[in-house]
């Protein structure tokens, strides 16, 4: 069982978590000391075996846990906060268990991803979770540039000491005024939600930020009054006739018009397929 842990307040979890911890033959915890504190707060008496299950030992420990499951034992996986497998250990064990034909269940709990999305004030009908941006500047810039035309609201995790530079990189890739929200210490005593444009938020974060951070960024929206699609297709045809590769012609025209490349590509493809 994958058990969702509280992201701040122990009282946010359901009574089922206490029951699951008490009834498990094995509890695999990202941090065994934090598990013991949580169990104390919940009044749970863990009688099963407690083992560590974190990034460094996940691969080997997952195989060990699958063997325990094959032997008919009940295994509960719990991380420091939120749902196992969401930027936390859990995915490898789930995959191995599924491959072995073992039933995998989840005990839902609080999630920083959906909590931040809900309080951000940004569109929540369509969103994507992008985890932690790459640490290296070049890799981060490439990843964010690839998301520049993502139309869904994006949710990121980030460490407090890298927040300012990540927000600066997002401002460069998405635009300084792209609406965003930085959600800090969600559900905890010093919870804070700071909203604004990416450049504004980067300037604020440069002064130093502490705590667990979730960043929500608005998706791409084509500017109003964009050029007529027929005119854009004609421009692509003109560039192509002049020797520019079609892929490059579409990319250049879309960038100038401020629309997603995929939108223009589909329009050009439909036009060329029409008899």
pLDDT tens per residue across span 1-11: 999 999 999 88
Residue 222: the pLDDT is 63
- Sorted by sequence, the CB contacts under 8 Å of residue 130 that are 6+ apart come out as 143, 147, 154, 155, 156
Is 212 a residue whose pLDDT tops 60? yes
Is 227 a residue whose pLDDT tops 60? no
Q: Phi and psi at residue 48, in whole multiples of 5°?
A: -75, 175
Q: Which of 95, 115, 112, 113 is nearest to 104 (CA)?
A: 95
Cα distances from 106 to residues 70, 75, 91, 114, 259, in angstroms, run 18, 11, 12, 17, 40
Is 31 a residue whose pLDDT tops 60? yes
User: 152 pLDDT band (50/70/90 cuts)?
Assistant: very high
Whether 105 and 75 have beta carbons less than 8 Å apart is answered as no
Is 224 a residue whose pLDDT tops 70? no
pLDDT digits (tens, 9 = 90+) for 106-135: 999 899 999 999 999 999 999 999 999 999
Surface-to-core class of residue 106, CB atoms within 10 Å of its CB (0-12 exposed, 13-18 middle, 19+ buried): middle
Please give the model's pTM, rounded to 2 decimal places.
0.78
User: 275 pLDDT band (50/70/90 cuts)?
Assistant: low
Residue 258: the pLDDT is 78
pLDDT cut 90: percent of the chain above it: 82
CA 112 – CA 100 distance, rounded (Å): 31
Is 41 a residue whose pLDDT tops 90? yes
Residue 256: the pLDDT is 84
Whether 7 and 86 have beta carbons less than 8 Å apart is answered as no
- Sorted by sequence, the CB contacts under 8 Å of residue 68 that are 6+ apart come out as 25, 26, 75
pLDDT cut 70: percent of the chain above it: 97
User: 262 pLDDT band (50/70/90 cuts)?
Assistant: confident
Residue 270: the pLDDT is 82
Residue 230: the pLDDT is 86
């Amino acid at each position: 069982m994958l058990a969702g842990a509280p992201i701040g307040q122990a009282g946010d979890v359901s009574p089922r978590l206490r029951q699951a911890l008490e009834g498990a033959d094995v509890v695999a915890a990202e941090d065994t000391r934090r598990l013991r504190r949580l169990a104390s707060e919940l009044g749970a008496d863990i009688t099963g075996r407690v083992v560590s299950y974190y990034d460094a030992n996940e691969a080997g420990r997952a195989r060990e846990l699958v063997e325990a499951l094959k032997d008919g034992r009940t295994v509960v996986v719990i991380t420091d906060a939120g749902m196992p497998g969401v930027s936390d250990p859990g995915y490898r064990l789930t995959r191995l268990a599924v491959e072995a034909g073992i039933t995998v269940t989840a005990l839902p709990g609080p999630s920083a991803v959906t909590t931040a999305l809900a309080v951000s004030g940004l569109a929540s009908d369509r969103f994507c979770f992008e985890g932690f941006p790459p640490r290296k500047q070049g890799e981060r810039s490439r990843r964010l540039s690839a998301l520049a035309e993502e139309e869904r609201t994006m949710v990121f995790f980030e460490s407090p000491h890298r927040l300012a530079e990540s927000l600066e990189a997002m401002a460069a890739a998405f635009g300084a005024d792209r609406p965003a929200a930085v959600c800090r210490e969600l559900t905890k005593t010093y919870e804070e939600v700071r909203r604004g444009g990416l450049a504004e938020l980067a300037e604020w974060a440069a002064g130093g930020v502490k705590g667990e951070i979730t960043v929500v960024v608005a998706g791409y929206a084509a500017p109003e009054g964009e050029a007529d699609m027929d005119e854009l297709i004609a421009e692509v045809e003109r560039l192509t006739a002049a020797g520019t590769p079609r892929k490059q012609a579409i990319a250049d025209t879309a960038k100038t018009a401020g629309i997603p490349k995929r939108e223009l590509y589909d329009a050009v493809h439909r036009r060329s397929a029409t008899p």
